[in-house]
Amino acid sequence: MAETHGLMERLEKAVTRLESLFSDSHRSGGMECDGINGVNGSIAPYVEAFDRLLNGSVAEFLRYSKILEGDVKTHAEMVRAAFQAQRSFLVLASQCQEPQENEVAVLLKPISEKIQEIQNFRERNRGSKMFNHLSAVSESIPALGWIAVSPKPGPPPTFDTETPKDEGTAARSALFAQLNQGEAITKGLRHVSDDQKTHKNPSLRAQGPPVRSPTKSHTPSPTSPKNSPQQNHPPVLELEGKKWRVEYQEDKNDLVINNTELKQVAYIFKCNKSTLQIKGKINSITIDNCKKFGLVFDNVVGIVEVINSRDIQIQVMGKVPTISINKTEGCHIYLSEESLDCEIVSAKSSEMNILIPQDGDYKEFPVPEQFKTAWDGSKLVTEPAEIVG
- What pLDDT, in 10s, does the model give residues 32-90? 554 444 444 577 888 888 888 888 888 888 888 888 889 889 998 998 898 888 888 88
Domain with CATH 1.25.40.330 in the chain: 2-148
Cα–Cα distance measured from residue 29 to residue 24, given in angstroms and rounded to the nearest whole number:
8
Q: What is the structure's pLDDT at 310?
A: 95
pTM: 0.44
Q: What is the structure's pLDDT at 18?
A: 47
In CATH, what number does 168-374 get? Answer: 2.160.20.70
Q: Please identify, in words, the CATH class of the domain defined by 2-148.
A: mainly alpha
Q: What is the structure's pLDDT at 106?
A: 76
List of residues 6+ apart from 242 with CB closer than 8 A: 148, 149, 150, 177, 261, 263, 264, 265
What is the mean pLDDT of each successive set of 10 residues along the chain, which is 389 residues long?
49 50 45 47 79 88 88 90 87 74 74 87 86 86 75 48 44 40 43 52 49 43 49 89 95 92 95 95 96 95 95 95 95 94 92 92 90 90 71
Cα–Cα distance measured from residue 47 to residue 371, given in angstroms and rounded to the nearest whole number:
46
Q: What is the structure's pLDDT at 32?
A: 53
Q: What is the structure's pLDDT at 234?
A: 93
Whether 199 contacts 212, CB under 8 Å: yes
Cα–Cα distance measured from residue 264 to residue 278, given in angstroms and rounded to the nearest whole number:
12
Helix (H) or strand (E) holding 303: strand 303-307
